[in-house]
Each structure stands twice: as C-alpha cells, then as structure tokens.
Amino acid sequence: MSRLQNQPTLRVDTNKPLSFTYKKKTFSGFKGDTVASALFSGGIRIFSRSLKYHRPRGLYSLDGECSNTGMEVNGIPNVNAEKTLLEKGMQVKAQNVKGSPELDAMGFMDSLDRAMPAGFYYRTMHKPARIWPIALQQVRKAAGLGKISPDFRMTGEFDEIFPTTDVCVIGGGPSGMTAAIAAAETGLRVILLEARPWLGGFFDYRQSEFSRDLPHYQRARELEARMQTLPNIRVFTHTAMVGAYSNNLVTAFQIGNEKDPFDERYLEIRAQSMIVATGCIERPLLFENNERPGVMQIACAHRLANTYGILPGKRAVFSVAHDLGIEAALDLFDAGIEIAAVADIRDNPSHAALVSELEQREIPYLKGWVAREALGAPLKSVSLTTLQGTFEKKLECDLLVASAGMTPVTGPLSMAQAELAFDQHTGFFLPKSLPVGVYAAGRLLGLNDSRAIEASGQVAGLSAALNCGKASAQALKDAQEMLAGRPQAERGCNLVMAPVKGRKAFICFDEDTTVKNIKQAIDMGFDATELIKRFTAAGTGPGQSGIPGHNLPLLVAQHHTDHGALTRPTTMRAPLVPTLMATYAGTNHLMSKRTPMHERQKQDGGVMRKIGVWNRARYFSDDFSCRREIENIRNNVGMLDATTLGKFRIFGPDALKALQRVYVGDMAKISPGKIKYSAMCNEDGCIIDDGVVVQRGENDYYFTTSTARAGITVEWIRYHTRYDGWDFNLVNLTDAFGVINLAGPKAREVLSEVIDADISNAAFPFAAYQEFTALDTIPVRIMRLGFVGELSYELHVPGSWMETLWDALSEAGKPFGIANFGLETQNVLRMEKGHLIIGSESEQRTTLHDVGLGGLWDRNKPAVDTVGAVALQQTENQEKRLKLVGFKMKNTRTPPKDGSIVVDDRIRGHVCIARYSHTLQEAVGMALVEDPLHAVGTEISIYEDECQGQLVSATVVPMPFYDPKGERLRS
C-alpha cells in the first residue's frame, strides 16, 4: 500500500524502507513505523485471535490499550505490535491461532459463548476435582498466552538509571510541555516522560488550527523547541511511566533507539513534585461486534493517516461523541476516504463550525445516532440506530470509527494515591484531592480548549515549582487567572452503551468479557466493581484496563441505578504499562567480595563458591570429600584463606564496658598477650556469634566475629549501648586484614621461616597473641588458635601485603608439603574436633547452654548488664530443649545428609553436619536433638530425603571425636 506523502505530520521516513518477515513472507515498512502500522500498510487486518473465543482482532487504539496486536516478535511472545518500532529483519508471527489469523481452526469457540458464562471456570471445573488438572491443560492450550521456548535466552542490553529531579512531568503533550517549561523557567530541574517516541501528545498529528495560521502540530513543535533551549529539562521519549510510590518515587521504562546503548532502560526517579499530564484515551463504544477488525477508535484512524501516511479504509462510518471524531472525519475525507456518515451521540457538537464543514463536504451528520452492530468479517457494513433504538439504518463500509468520548488516563494519579471521584459534568473520574507535591494538568481535567490545556500546564508547573520553594505565589495566581479566563471543562457523553443486548459487545478485549458477562455477574450477586472485575476477568489482561477501565464501573453503576457518588474506578497497580522482566532486572551487577587471594586460589584449582557476600574457595580438587587436603593438615601443614572473618577495633574510655555488654564472658579478664574466646547472645540467650578478643593497648581492643556477623556487629554493639552514653569508638577492619590460617603439625617450622622471632611453644603458646614483623617488613598480628584441631596460627596481615606473605609462606612450606585447603576441609577438621560454627550447629532457638558453650558465660557479671544473660539464667535448666550432640553412624561408611531429620514417633531434631572422617575412618556428625535423646549411648534414627522409608541409625557419643585432650593443638 502506498503512503500519503504530503501529510506534514508524518513520523515515518519513506526514504528508509525496512523489510521484515511475517507468515514466511517478506513485508516492508519504513523507519518510524511500528510493526503494526507496517503490517497494516501491507494489507494485514487481522493481527491475532482473542484469548477465549478466538475472535479475529485488528488495530483498535494504536497505543497498546488492548492485546489485539499481541504478537510474537523475534521469539518473544505477547509483544505489543502497535507500540513496537519496526526494525530491519524482524521475525513476526501471529499467536493464539491454529492455522492463520484469517482462518483459525479454533474459531468455532466463538459460537460456544453460551457454554462459557461469567466465571464458568470457577463454578464448573472443580467438580469432580480430579478433572481440574486435565481441564487446566486444555484451557492453557486453547488460551492465547503465547508460547516461549524453555531454551529461549533474552538478548539485548537492559540498562537502569536512578535520577533525582525537582519536578517530574508525566506526559509530553501540550500541557506536560507547558508545565515543564514553567517549572524549568524558575531554575528547577525537570524530567519529562513521554510514552510515545516523540513529543506533542494529541497536538502532534492534528492539522487543525491552534491559532490563526498555526496548526496544532506546529504548536507542539514550538513547545518542543522551547524546551530544548532549557538545559535543566531532561526529556525521555518512548518512556512509559509504570509506577508511583511514596515521596514521589516514579518508575518508568524507556525503549532505546538505534543510537542508544540499550534496548530498554529502567528509570527510578525521585522527584520533589510530580505533574501528571497524561491526557485522555478514548472510551470504547459498546455495541455488538465492537472489536471486529475494521472497527477502530478515532485517534487510531486519524493517526494512521496523519502519522503513518496510511489510509485506514476506503469507505468509513463514524460513530462518535467528541469533536475530535468530526475533526478526524474531515481530515480523512480530505485524505481520500469516502465518509458514509458521521453519527454523533450528542445533541450538538461543541463547535458548530465542524458541522458546517461536514455539510460543505456533503458528509451526512446524524445527531443522536449510534452504531448498533458491526456486520461482516472483515467488516462490510454497520447498523446504526437512534439512541432509543427506534430507528435503524445500515450503511456499507470497511471502516467503522467508533468512540463514546474521552476518558482521562488516571493510572499515574491513582498510583500516587490521589482520590478520584466521578464527575457528572465531564463523565470523567477526576481527582477530588491530590497528595502533597502531586499536580494534574491538561485534558485529563476535562479541558478541551487547546489554550486552556496549555494554561493548565502553566498552573501545574508553577504549583510544582512553588512546592519546591521556587515560584512566586503571584506568578501562580496570574496563571490561575489566565486559566480561569479560558473555556472550562466541557460536558462529556453519558452514554455507556448502544441499545443492544450485549452478547457480543465486548467490554474487555483482552479477556473476551462481554456486557452480557457483566450482567451475569451482577445477577449472581456481585455488586462491587472490583469483585466483578475479578469474577469476569475484565481488565486483568495486558492492556491494564485500558479498554474496560472506565466503562466497567459506569456499567455497574448503571445497573445499580447509581451514576454518581458510588461509582468508583478500579484500583491501578504497577506496572501501568507491561514491559519485559529483563527491563525490571536491569543491568544486575552482581556485587560480591573477593579476598586478596581470590585469583591465586583460583589459579591453584580452588573451586569458588559465593558464601554470603564473599567468594570463597570450597575445594581444591574434584574429590569433594577432600581426603588429601585433610590428611595433609593432619600430617603436614596447610593454608586456608580466612580473610572473611569479621575484624574490629574498639577503643575509647568505655570500650571495655561495651565489650562486657555484648559478650557473655568477663572481658575484664583478657590478659596481655593472650586471646579470649567468647560468644555473643541475643536477648533470648540464643547464641548468635563467637570470636576472640585481644587487648592491644589501654582501652584499645581488637576482636573477631564470624563472617556472617561482620556486617552487623557495629550496629549490634551501638544498639545495645544506645542509652548508656558511653564513650567508645568502633572501626570495622574486616576488609583491612587478610587472614591466613596456617595449620598442621609442621606449621611452626613454616612460620619460623618468615618470622625472625622466638615462636617456640614456650614463647608463643596456645591461645597467645603477638604482633610480629614478617620478612622484616610486613606487620602481622598472629593468634595461636586451634579451630581445626592442630597446631595452628591465624595471621592477620594488611590486605595489600597479604599476597606477598602468602607467597613467602608457600615457598617456605614447600619442604614441609604445604598445600591450600578450602572451606570443606576446614569444615570436616573442625567437626572432628567438635568445634561448632554458629548457624550450622545452632539455630534460632538454641541457647549457649544448648550447644555446650555454657562455660563461656561468666555468672559473676551482673546479668542485667549482659545481653542475653537473664534468659540464660532462666533457660539453663529448662527441660526438653534441643541439645547439640555428637554421633557415630551404625554404618560406618555412610554419613547422612546435612539437615536430615532425627525421628522416632515424631521429629526429634536434625543433623547439623555429618561426614565420613578419613582421620577416624568412620562416619560421624553433630546433631541438635531434644534432650531425652542427648544422653551418650542413645540410639537415634535419621530420616533422609529419598531414603524411601529406610531410616539410618546412629549412636550418640561424646565429643570431640579427635584429640579429646587437645594435645595436638597445644603442641
């Protein structure tokens, strides 16, 4: 189909053709086309089949108000073709058809509507219940949900930005642009969002006069040019607002063009003021077959011609209720379409001159008439009737332009918590009150006069600026007076539907909900619009209530003979416009921590795992039992990167008091050169952390926490001392120090190679702390610990030095067989030694006593001064608590899985950890069990997943399993 070339409002570039495929044929469009406009230009009239009845569907709104043009584009289903800009090489397919859109084998469903009344699936498909799984499959097969391959991978760049602004304007039409200019001229920062790829709103495609010799589209260009001179306005076109939240947080997504480095971009905008200038969409006219291909809204037909240069038909009938309908009829007539008649629901148009222009063109104008039924598929004729249904006439046509008037786009206002109320004069849901910092402008207030629309933008822009403390009250008053001097909101059309029964009058295209379905729901007792919406599914489709949003509450109100106070719009929720999940996901930078040895450990064969915020080496071979690593520690020496431990400095006159508050031990007993192991409990006496504390100077301590608690320890201590007014300071040194755990019977020999000091057992015994200089240069803090049950040193070295010290130890350890070991090896070694990890051998309910660490609690400290101590007193001898026990498996080779449950006639506990111990040559573990089961010698039964009812048996034994006298770690 050739395009109209002389339209000054065209947005397609006919010098830039783009080819694409549809139905295995090559089609052609132009740059600026949407997929839908290009298909329409190529003669396609049926784009899809409907969800339930498989009725043919075509172009209707051009703004994605319904799923009529939901298609599969480049493998992605449910793409709205009328909002998707055409790109070269696109692969377009129809969806929800068996055969072709024109000849769909499932088309017979349309005749089964009587078998599918409102809510039929709720009422029928559960009797008997066993048929539901079968019915569900069939419903899913028949429904038009689109299909996506399980292997489909989303490609493209999905960006995100988080701008802050003073004023955010939603809508780039005349009022939005005027508002943005008014606010920006006060010096404020303004962001303007426009859903279409260009600015101008309903001025953009209109050639009618804004003022003498200035057509509307030119006026829009003027406003756009004015905005471009203001550097404090940021304009985002092709950007749909999707949500509004407290404190004017506005979310949106932008579709990129060929110059943008992204395909789609998510925006999260924080604004001080927000202006909603989203204008109006058309209220669908309800009549029989109102969604048939060939039936479209006024702006759809008008924009096809003026924006895309495509004549929407050859012979048209108009059934309208707004001056824009008459204006479109005149334009399309001038463009070459025969207009059979213009039926106007109203008694009189707002501008009588329009009727004169119809008369000049000899276009019949039928006052008080309305479309009753669209006939033929594709459309061949239309039946018109008077509003009372008294008279009828039938006119042949291939295009029916139908609309019941305008309805404001109030989704953004609704999401911003504005209170909307039905206005009898305009027939609109208008904001009754607006939240602070939220303003409305333009057509959505019911204004039709072009200058009044702009004046309302001026008022909104200045109001928003005043809210930001910028505009003067006088300037706002002047703007308000100017607006008051313009024509006010016009009377709207009150007709809800033509005089028909409504069996095939669709109130919601997406869900195939008819007027009859609504009546059925009401007859079944549903009275609230929200409930009817859910029962009939009207407005729950991808169009986000674009089609039924206004008509549904009006229709319900009409049935209740209440057209006023109780009429409420249904609730709008994000996303107001559907978009890709990939867009919401954004760039999704995965932020995690690496230790200074990360790359080296990977080079050494470390299998890295993300554990909490850190990446850590779990294994160093394919043998996940880590036999060689374990044996090397027991016999030689190994190194573990333990950098992730929490590390803190606490200092100041009251530092000791703070330590006393959060640790259960008496921290005043820390000896110089010694470490003190202690634990922290919460207020319930449940253990939450353990670690060591050393004193480095007067009122100056260094302490460690578990990896998991590192991020919240400062806050924990501050919180529990918040009323005391104590003078102490905390510095989180977790990342400052790398930690090397050098462990094994030959650890001392290796360490002595890099430390020029006496580190003999006498000079540096178990539980000692000293600060050394390694390699004559590197400051290192060393703790003599024994978590893995062997002679062991924990070297705390500044992060920037760590690699050098690690290398030196590796080199020095070669003669002693030094090797890396990972977390799993540490896990087995410490289990053999009976050392616990908080969170593995404890859970939310386990107190210090339950896990066998009651000895850490110093009872001489005043309980009220120690977090958790009162609860420890109360729970110490409580019966039936979970207790941590060690166990050995009856089958000595096979340990149960971690987390398996301990059972008898009911659940008695769970396995915390169990492994085959290469050291002990048998399977051992630790479990939390109810206290009747904790006695040594008790046999416990363990249920594993996939055990098929075969319980495994174990015996409770004393711990530790390995080196019970602690001779090795003290050696």
Residues found near another protein in the complex (CB under 8 A): 159-164, 189, 261, 268, 270, 587, 589-596, 598, 613-614, 643, 649, 651-652, 697, 700, 727, 729-737, 775, 777-778, 798-801, 803-804, 807-808, 811
Name which of 544 and 595 has its Cβ closer to another protein: 595
Name which of 248 and 448 has its Cβ closer to another protein: 248
Closest Cα to residue 197, out of 293, 345, 83?
Answer: 83
Helix-, strand-, coil-residue percentages of the chain, each rounded to 5: 25, 30, 45
Alpha-carbon distance of 962 to 830, in angstroms, equals 9
Closest Cα to residue 736, out of 660, 648, 841, 652?
Answer: 648
Name which of 776 and 946 has its Cβ closer to another protein: 776
What is the sign, positive or negative, of the torsion defined by CA atoms of 531, 534, 536, 537?
positive
In whole angstroms, the minimum distance from the beta carbon of 248 to another protein comes to: 13
Token pair listed for 318: 């108009």
Local structure of 109: helix, strand or coil: helix
In whole angstroms, the minimum distance from the beta carbon of 700 to another protein comes to: 6
Alpha-carbon distance of 385 to 392, in angstroms, equals 4
In whole angstroms, the minimum distance from the beta carbon of 724 to another protein comes to: 13
In whole angstroms, the minimum distance from the beta carbon of 776 to another protein comes to: 9
In whole angstroms, the minimum distance from the beta carbon of 270 to another protein comes to: 6
Name which of 47 and 614 has its Cβ closer to another protein: 614
Name which of 295 and 778 has its Cβ closer to another protein: 778
Helix axes of 174-184 and 450-467: crossing angle, nearest 10 degrees: 40
Name which of 36 and 597 has its Cβ closer to another protein: 597
In whole angstroms, the minimum distance from the beta carbon of 189 to another protein comes to: 7
Give the angle subtended at the CA of 361 by the CAs of 356 and 367, to the nearest 5°: 55
In whole angstroms, the minimum distance from the beta carbon of 479 to another protein comes to: 24
CB atoms near residue 591 (< 10 Å): 6
Closest Cα to residue 311, out of 334, 288, 291, 327?
Answer: 334
CB atoms near residue 31 (< 10 Å): 17
Alpha-carbon distance of 46 to 1, in angstroms, equals 16
CB atoms near residue 525 (< 10 Å): 7
Residues in the chain: 971
Place of tokens 């043919």: 56
Q: Count Cβ neighbours within 10 Å for each residue of 96-115 and write b for 16 or more, e otherwise.
A: bbeeebbebebbebbeebee
Name which of 788 and 823 has its Cβ closer to another protein: 823
Token pair listed for 353: 């001159």
Name which of 737 and 769 has its Cβ closer to another protein: 737
User: Residue 660: what residue type?
Assistant: Q
How far out from the chain centre does Cα 40 lie? 34
In whole angstroms, the minimum distance from the beta carbon of 180 to another protein comes to: 17
Residue 212 to residues 201, 205, 209, 215, 739: CA-CA distances in angstroms? 20, 17, 6, 8, 80
Alpha-carbon distance of 584 to 923, in angstroms, equals 48
Name which of 128 and 231 has its Cβ closer to another protein: 231
Name which of 234 and 534 has its Cβ closer to another protein: 234
Place of tokens 């003026």: 306
Name which of 270 and 627 has its Cβ closer to another protein: 270
Residue 203 DSSP symbol: G
CB atoms near residue 573 (< 10 Å): 12
Name which of 778 and 856 has its Cβ closer to another protein: 778
In whole angstroms, the minimum distance from the beta carbon of 805 to another protein comes to: 9
Residue 180 near residue 192 (C-beta atoms within 8 A) = yes
Closest Cα to residue 295, out of 282, 306, 308, 307?
Answer: 282
In whole angstroms, the minimum distance from the beta carbon of 585 to another protein comes to: 13
Residue 854 to residues 13, 913, 929: CA-CA distances in angstroms? 80, 21, 17
Name which of 138 and 587 has its Cβ closer to another protein: 587
In whole angstroms, the minimum distance from the beta carbon of 574 to another protein comes to: 18
Alpha-carbon distance of 910 to 64, in angstroms, equals 54
In whole angstroms, the minimum distance from the beta carbon of 434 to another protein comes to: 24
Alpha-carbon distance of 961 to 963, in angstroms, equals 7
In whole angstroms, the minimum distance from the beta carbon of 165 to another protein comes to: 9
Name which of 14 and 804 has its Cβ closer to another protein: 804
In whole angstroms, the minimum distance from the beta carbon of 710 to another protein comes to: 10
Residue 781 to residues 226, 596, 748, 756: CA-CA distances in angstroms? 66, 17, 15, 14
CB atoms near residue 322 (< 10 Å): 25
Name which of 264 and 629 has its Cβ closer to another protein: 264
Residue 48 near residue 57 (C-beta atoms within 8 A) = yes
Name which of 86 and 645 has its Cβ closer to another protein: 645
User: Residue 836: what residue type?
Assistant: L
Q: How many CA atoms lie within 13 Å of 189's alpha carbon, on the beta-carbon side?
A: 9
Local structure of 41: helix, strand or coil: helix
In whole angstroms, the minimum distance from the beta carbon of 268 to another protein comes to: 6
In whole angstroms, the minimum distance from the beta carbon of 822 to another protein comes to: 18
